[in-house]
Amino acid sequence: MNKGKLIVFSAPSGSGKTTIVQHLLRKTDLALEFSISATSRSPRGQEIDGKDYYFLSIDQFKTKIANDEFLEFEEVYSNNFYGTLKSEVERIWKTGKAVIFDIDVVGGLNIAKQFPQETLSIFVKPPNKIELEKRLRGRATETEQKIQMRLAKADKELNLALKFDAIITNDNLKIAKQEAYQLVSKFLK
Ligand code: 5GP
């Protein structure tokens, strides 16, 4: 299998990484394709199976773990599994495009460790905790308990930021998008 390149975006949820990843996907000159993760959580809002995630039952997810089908997976929140299928990365590499990931911090570092030569890892940092909390609440799709869970996880994740190749602080979305574009286009050249 010819290896292609991998672009990993990781961040505490609510830091704006998804918006940045979507922005880069629209830049056709970068020729990126989104790695659709598998998850055992239920679809949220307008999410579509096979586009945003491959939505699996916990049993289906565990069968794929047993069959060694994941490049990396994690129980990100209790009973909510998330993972990158090997078949997904191979599918994208075959098209000649680079793979772009929107995954959690530990998963992102895991990919970078497995493909040190092929990966650019970028950490997106929220400007501060108050702003992060505001963004998570602004989503209004989550219960208070889930918001608290995400905030606790964010604390741990911020400590891992220095292990990434680059850090983008997202206090101005327009600038953050430009920085992301520069980093990725330089890496792909
Ligand atoms: P959400 O439920 O908000 O879609 O995602 C929760 C967290 O799981 C986010 O930090 C998201 O980036 C992460 N995540 C999504 N896909 C994967 C994956 O394939 N592997 C890992 N390790 N984390 C993922």
Question: Residues 83-105: what's their mean pLDDT?
Answer: 96
What pLDDT is recorded for position 155?
Answer: 81
Contacts of 72 (CB under 8 A, 6+ apart): 83, 84, 107, 110, 111, 114
**Where exactly are the structural domains of the chain?**
6-183
Q: Is 108 exposed, middle or buried (0-12, 13-18, 19+ CB in 10 A)?
A: buried
Pocket probe mutation, ligand 1, options 76, 123, 149, max atoms within 8 Å of Cβ: 76
Index of the ligand 1 atom closest to the CA of residue 106: 22
Crossing angle of the two packed helices 17-26 and 173-188, in degrees rounded to 10: 50
CA distance 82 to 100: 16
Query: Could you tell me if the CB of 142 is within 6 A of ligand 1?
Result: no
6-183, CATH topology level: Rossmann fold (3.40.50)
CA of 82 to the centre of ligand 1 (A): 6
Secondary structure letter of residue 169 according to DSSP: E
Express each pLDDT in 62-78 by its tens digit.
999 999 999 999 998 78
CA of 19 to the centre of ligand 1 (A): 14
Express each pLDDT in 101-111 by its tens digit.
999 899 999 99
Chain centroid offset of residue 71 CA = 14
CA of 176 to the centre of ligand 1 (A): 20
